Structure 1
Amino acid sequence: MTIAQLNTDHAIDGQLKFVEGKGGFPIIEVDNGKAKATISVYGGQVLSFQPTGEAADVMFLSDKAYYAEGKAIKGGIPICWPWFGPDPEGKGRASHGLMRNRMWQVISTAAVADGTQVILGLSDSAETQAIWPQSFKFSIEITVSDTLKVELVTVNTGDQAFPITQALHTYFTIGDIAQTKVIGLGGTEYLDKVDGGKQKAQTGDISISSEVDRVYLNVAPQLTIDDGALGRKINIASTGSKTAIVWNPWSEIAANMADLDDADYKRFVCVETANAANEVIDVAAGSEYRMGAVISVTR
């Protein structure tokens, strides 16, 4: 569908329009007085969110990100679904599932009481069935206001249950990783993927001074990133999720990623809302499952 047709069907005067982004991908631009946001229809991916009055974007987006069919965009909120991490069946399918690297459909846009809502989605096709033989409707509901609400909705349209794991693989902008803490996970058990997946317990807040790749289990629904350099706290309130991933690649891995600048590891931290590890969700035939997060900024 062309940008002109998308605007005819879904633009909202004074709030939302479609533009052609890098790689020719359709981009949704929201500016509703409460916040600005950009959303890529490719990948169903929020790329930026900046509440009015905030000097810095809440989302990190790499200047070297790929904008090409078959590639994931490095930054914002990539979607991992219907599995998080490596192929759970060991069949060699792509890590993090089906959704990060394909074009979605615009289901609807609307001016709502607290801001602007965008719903993007995908249903199963012959292509997805060949990779993952399940019948589904999958959507992301995004509400841009002074907060950012993002919810993943899985509908099983088949006649048998299927298991999923999933994540909002969110990249948050921070002023300086050396002045950043992740609060709310003290005393929580986690799998340390940097140390062979060993299970450990978190002591106090998380400070990052080397590579971190941890899957936290049975987490509380409220986490906070204390962004000391920018003088703000980023709050993440999750629903339908008891798993969180904290990731920063640090210097060596960042230097080896072509879609990251060598120093980008100092400028972001991923705190991901997820169903992962031992939190596998069985979606019954004919039912739906919702997982999401509300992201806000306080000072």
Structure 2
Amino acid sequence: MVERANKPSALSATPGLAPQPTVTFSDDNSRVTAELPTGETVEILLYGATVISWKDSRGDEKLWLSEAAKLDGSKPVRGGIPLVFPVFGTAPNHASASKLPQHGFARNNRWEFLGKSTSESAAGKQAADLSVKLDFGLSSSAVSNSDLWPFKFNLIYSVTLNRENLTTSLVVTNDDDKPFECQVLMHTYLRVKDITQVKITGLDGASYTDKVDGASTKSQSGDVTITGETDRVYTPKGGPSDPVSVVESGKTPYTVTRDNLSNVVVWNPWTEKAEGMADFAPKDGYKNMLCIEPGAVGAWQTLEAGDAFEGAQTITIPY
């Protein structure tokens, strides 16, 4: 065969097709980044399958990530979207979850990248219609501290980037021959400009557990504002179909919708709590972040042998 002296190394695009989403890995294979042709990006750390960045087409970051966050796999990431499974917080009085670390082990084990898929594209298809989905997996056999929770399970986590939104979904499968109980939550840190100018709509009339006030049960009246340390587990009146919106200075930068996740945790550490967290930086960073965390944590989800639980959130931004 005759070698061409100047043969092309690769074709940059297939003739006739619209530009396609791209997926790249970091040099050390610790993270994966997806980018749409229109410029939106999402970056996921394989440690914890933690989304650590989500930017719009202008390059504006939508997630808050602590400047002191550990991204080397030495501890869970402070910021982005850490995954909580199989326990929310700690459960010292729960038979099977009492020995688990804070928020379980999904966020502090390395996940396997399972692959990508993109929306079907064809000649003339609008770039705004494109999307890319990244799938990650974690099984009980790959968990470093699996002896603390003696059940066989499989987790599939999907991160889907569209031009106007980001969707994260988690499927939990019980691979054991006996039932287990679990909790699931997506600990989303949204970036805001000024927390004192923020209100949260969609929670009026919802009952909530106020963890700052002795885990007392209360009812929300009107919109939620943040004026001090806030740690509340809400159960919106309309169920998972009720959207929750963040409104800042009269505009709505984020609307969060849920699928099969009945709770919404609202969290901001404020001054003293932020000071006490070594991996929270800058210390006044609480002014620029707000956690809106969809989850199923108000009660334990019971999965029989072979059953699966799926929950998802979609965060929509104005375009």
Same fold by TM-score, threshold 0.5 exceeded?
A: yes
Distance 1:120 1:85 in 2: 23
Which structure has the greater CA radius of gyration?
Answer: 2
Distance 1:32 1:277 in 2: 36
Distance 1:160 1:92 in 2: 19
| In the alignment, structure 1 residue 123 sits paired with structure 2 residue 149 | no
* Contact 1:25-1:42 within 8 A present in 2 as well: no
* Contact 1:87-1:94 within 8 A present in 2 as well: no
User: Structure 2: where are the runs of 5+ without partners?
Assistant: 1-18, 121-129
Distance 2:144 2:70 in 1: 23
| In the alignment, structure 1 residue 73 sits paired with structure 2 residue 77 | yes
Matches for 1:195-206 after TM superposition, within 5 Å: 195-206=213-224
What's the counterpart of residue 116 of structure 2?
109
Identity among equivalent positions (%) equals 28
The 3 A distance-change label for structure 1 pair 285 and 39 is: same
Matches for 1:97-176 after TM superposition, within 5 Å: 97-113=104-120, 114-125=130-141, 127-146=144-163, 147-176=165-194
Distance 1:285 1:70 in 2: 33
Distance 1:233 1:47 in 2: 18
**Which residue type is aligned with residue 244 of structure 2?**
L
Tell me the SS of whatever aligns to 2:107.
Answer: coil
Matches for 1:60-99 after TM superposition, within 5 Å: 60-88=64-92, 89=94, 91-99=98-106
Q: CA deviation at 1:29?
A: 1.3
The 3 A distance-change label for structure 1 pair 195 and 33 is: same
Tell me the SS of whatever aligns to 2:171.
Answer: strand
Distance 1:264 1:246 in 2: 16
Distance 2:179 2:268 in 1: 35
Distance 1:291 1:14 in 2: 25
What's the counterpart of residue 57 of structure 1?
61
User: Structure 1: where are the runs of 5+ without partners?
Assistant: 1-11
How many equivalent residue pairs?
282
What TM-score do the two structures reach when normalised by structure 2?
A: 0.83
Distance 2:210 2:301 in 1: 22
The 3 A distance-change label for structure 1 pair 193 and 14 is: closer
Tell me which moved more, 190-199 or 282-291.
282-291
* Contact 1:254-1:265 within 8 A present in 2 as well: yes
The 3 A distance-change label for structure 1 pair 267 and 161 is: same
Q: Deviations over 1:122-175 (max 9, x none)?
A: 111274431111111112111111211110110111112211111000000001
* Contact 1:172-1:271 within 8 A present in 2 as well: yes
**Which residue type is aligned with residue 273 of structure 1?**
P
Tell me the SS of whatever aligns to 1:270.
Answer: strand
**Equivalent residue in structure 2 for 1:253, among 253, 273, 281:** 273
What TM-score do the two structures reach when normalised by structure 1?
A: 0.89
